[in-house]
Structure 1
């Protein structure tokens, strides 16, 4: 792995008009994982994802090097970071298409949805940043065609970035359109899915378990199943009761009246017995 020399540490404006501290060497922009994440205002889970992915992505790319050492710190150029973001976004959309995102902890799901909407904007910023810095480095030394003082690695890197930018421009535009469409689809899914219905509406515990795809017959405490345990919890907590609802007992022709509770109170009871399941919001 190469060691960077003649490095300048400077501050620029990030994609959210935030100040970003990065490194500049030979007309190329470098930064640590932490610095790139700070620039992107990345959610809490992204640094670990990048550390696990960016080395492999860098090895697959042509036109490197994309990783280097600066003292004891490892720094990266933008292309492998963008490739790792692509990989995360593809995996995220697969989870959404299968409905698996609804079982994620609330904070993780919310931050993932927001970050997914911004991926296209962030990638475009990174590529524009790299090309802008290369252009500035070349302009400061004169034209590549007329000046022999411009380092060849800068000229080659500039050409590589230009070629990459041209090749990916159409893809980025299409990707941005898809991100917007996916955002609209996610909003539509949240409006239509039973799990996201009004938290104040009164329903039976069994109905709420069905809406959230939970096994209401699962034993959660002693000999009580989930519906029985939640009913006891709601009674003891003094939660507001709704109108009784006629319901046929499982495996029986007998119809009985069952208490109803607000969805938000039932969700709290479910979380009490199954804390690993966050209530949808």
Structure 2
């Protein structure tokens, strides 16, 4: 006689997540949590975040963290940040870091940047990078560049560059571009793309446009960004087409971006329709 699968609802939810169907996974995993399947809570957190169900995530996670389940503090901080509750988000992320979740430093660093607290964000990310978090070095370099500290950005990029971490190669490419070492930057951008850095084609396209004036090359890279589903690819392509005088072509991509929650893209679409985005 064939035995029943262990935690069947959680297994179904995990399969939906792997298939890129997080909203469907939420419904299944909520049932799994209600029936006491032990692996379900962590999967439900992932489903909430992957589906952008920020309010639902915050509502569910807040009492869990208050009850001492600190492993959920990081996800709670992300959800609170997304719904604009930055004070509580910062508290949750600091709790996560204090509890040993180094990865939460990346989310805290971005939160602090968005609040104009770049120096604090840099300190948080520098500490996380020193402690071995794999995402922190590239984010640290990005914040240092944003703060205008090219010397510190170059030092960090050179210390942490590692082909095993493609985003660090992309970070060094950005530094070389800022240093006007364009040939070196181009080589690094191409290497980052070959290695699979998260936003390699988007960044390379922007470099080609700004530093080389290569409109066709930039468009080809933005098309690659679309093919690789890089974060923000739709807005990037839409903005590019708008800037080169192709508003009708841009509209399709801006609509995709707006449909996924990009408020800037939504405002641009309103302007294209001849309306004021400030109007209700």
Higher strand share: 1
* Rg comparison, structure with higher value: 1
Q: TM-score range by the shorter chain?
A: under 0.3
Structure with more contact order per residue of length (Cα contacts < 8 Å, sep ≥ 6)? 1
TM-score (norm 1): 0.25
TM-score w.r.t. structure 2 length?
A: 0.25
